[in-house]
Amino acid sequence: MVKVTIDDKTIEVEPGTTILSAARQIGGEVVPPAMCFYSKLPGTGGKCRTCLVEVSQGSEKDPRPMPKLVASCSTPVMDGMVVKNTTSEKVKVGRGAVVEFLLINHPLDCPVCDQAGECHLQDLGFENGGEGTRYEEEKRTFDPVDIGNKIKLHMNRCILCYRCVAVANQLTDKRVHGVLGRGEHAEISTYIEKAIDNDFSGNMIDVCPVGALTDKTFRFKSRVWFLKPMEASCECSKCSGKTVVWMFGNEIMRVTARKDQYGEVEDQDGKTGWICNDCRFEKKDISQWNIIGPRKINRHSVISQGNYASPRQTIKKLN
């Protein structure tokens, strides 16, 4: 085991653990935000640079600080390492810079975006962003395209985290989903709207931290904070069938996988609980589901605003 200190909190972790995952083991304030890293998807991380932290002591043996901020999601801890996240001025500036960069070309169309309310970029901007913008140039724009008949890609909103590319890499070794172009012109593409024909392609929607990939069966139907997320299950031959159904009254508006506080799909029966397209897109009738109970959501305050408690409990609280 190796010892690492993050924002004055010390923890022992397995050698080879990244700074980010050590921070998540501590939990709370010390956890850096992560927009591209996804622990369930090998090969992700290192790209968005929102998880930058300062290493003020490299290790017990070599106490020199690291000269630059490092991406905590892809830097392994060393024994005796001292890391500063919220306590570092440099990190504040660096992360602020990254947020500014991520937003200059973002359309800021939250009022019409399905992701609003559960968007990691909104959270990030709220917590680390500045006021106003210094970007006076024209924003880059793309036309929305279809990825198969159930998924919509709004490239304008994409932050190029490559998570959906990693999902596609898991699904197929034919390179039908990837990045085209370079630099500012880089875009997610399925080589001209070619559908990824796979039962699990819908999981792209769940891993997308912003509203770039959305569920066409749910688009513009409701704001997420008007819905009640309920844990549900069904007999499914393709996946675990363990999902969250988002309800309005007795109607199922959309189905997603069960996600943890970092927006990552939780494990079900010892495996990552990806759900199949049938469960996600086809089963919208309440008779197809066994509703278990309200889903606890603690991160996205907009959604958790009062949707769990039964009316009676709410009244009690008010009294």
Partner 1 sequence: MGRRLLLEHDAVPGIETFDVYRKNGGYRSVEKALKTMSPQEVVEQVQLAGLRGRGGAGFPTGMKWSFLAKPEGVPRYLLCNADESEPGTFKDRYLMEKLPHLLIEGMITSSYALGCNLSFIYIRGEYMWILEILEKAIAEAYAKGFLGKNILGSGFDLDLRVAPGGGAYICGEETALIESLEGKRGNPRIKPPFPAVKGLWGCPTVVNNVESLAAVVPIVNDGGEEYAKIGIGKSTGTKLISACGNLARPGVYEIEMGMTVEEFIYGDDWCRGIANGKKLKAFVPGGSSVPILPHYLVTKTAAGDDRIMSYEGLSEGGFASGSMLGSGGFIVFDEDQCIVRNTWNFARFYAHESCGQCSPCREGTAWMEKVLHRLENGQGYMHDIDLLAEINKKIEGNTICPLGDAAAWPVAAAIRHFRDEFEWHVNQPIESQKRNFGLASVPTLV
104 DSSP 8-state letter: H
Q: Which of 9, 25, 26, 47 binds ligand FES (CB under 6 A)?
A: 47
Judge whether 117 and 39 are in contact, CB under 8 Å: no
Q: Which of 5, 21, 39, 50 binds ligand FES (CB under 6 A)?
A: 50
Q: Does 37 bind ligand FES (CB under 6 A)?
A: yes
- Measure the CA–CA gap between 94 and 48, rounded to whole angstroms: 12
Stretch binding ligand FES (CB under 6 A), from 42-50, 173-181, 261-269, 295-303: 42-50
Q: Does 94 bind partner 1 (CB under 8 A)?
A: yes
Q: Which of residues 182-241 bind partner 1 (CB under 8 A)?
A: 182-186
Q: Which of 181, 270, 293, 306 binds partner 1 (CB under 8 A)?
A: 181
Q: Does 70 bind ligand FES (CB under 6 A)?
A: no
Residue 160's region, left for phi above 0, alpha for psi from -120 to 50, else beta, is: left
Q: Which of 3, 9, 101, 284 binds partner 1 (CB under 8 A)?
A: 101
- Measure the CA–CA gap between 173 and 193, rounded to whole angstroms: 17
Tell me whether residue 73 or residue 78 sits nearer to ligand FES (CB atom): 73
Check the CA dihedral 73-74-77-82 and report its sign.
Answer: negative
| 3 state SS of 182 | coil
Residue with tokens 């968007």: 119
Closest C-alpha among 83, 54, 274, 44 to residue 162: 44
Residue with tokens 């290192």: 46
Minimum CB distance to ligand FES, residue 86 (Å): 16
- Both tokens of residue 185? 């012109």
**Strand pairing category for 271-272 and 9-13:** unpaired
Q: Which of 58, 80, 178, 294 binds partner 1 (CB under 8 A)?
A: 178
Minimum CB distance to ligand FES, residue 37 (Å): 4
**Site residues for ligand FES per CB under 6 A:** 34-37, 45-51, 71, 73
Residues that bind partner 1 (CB under 8 A): 45-50, 52, 67-69, 71, 74-76, 93-94, 97-98, 100-102, 104-105, 134-135, 137, 159-160, 162, 178-179, 181-186
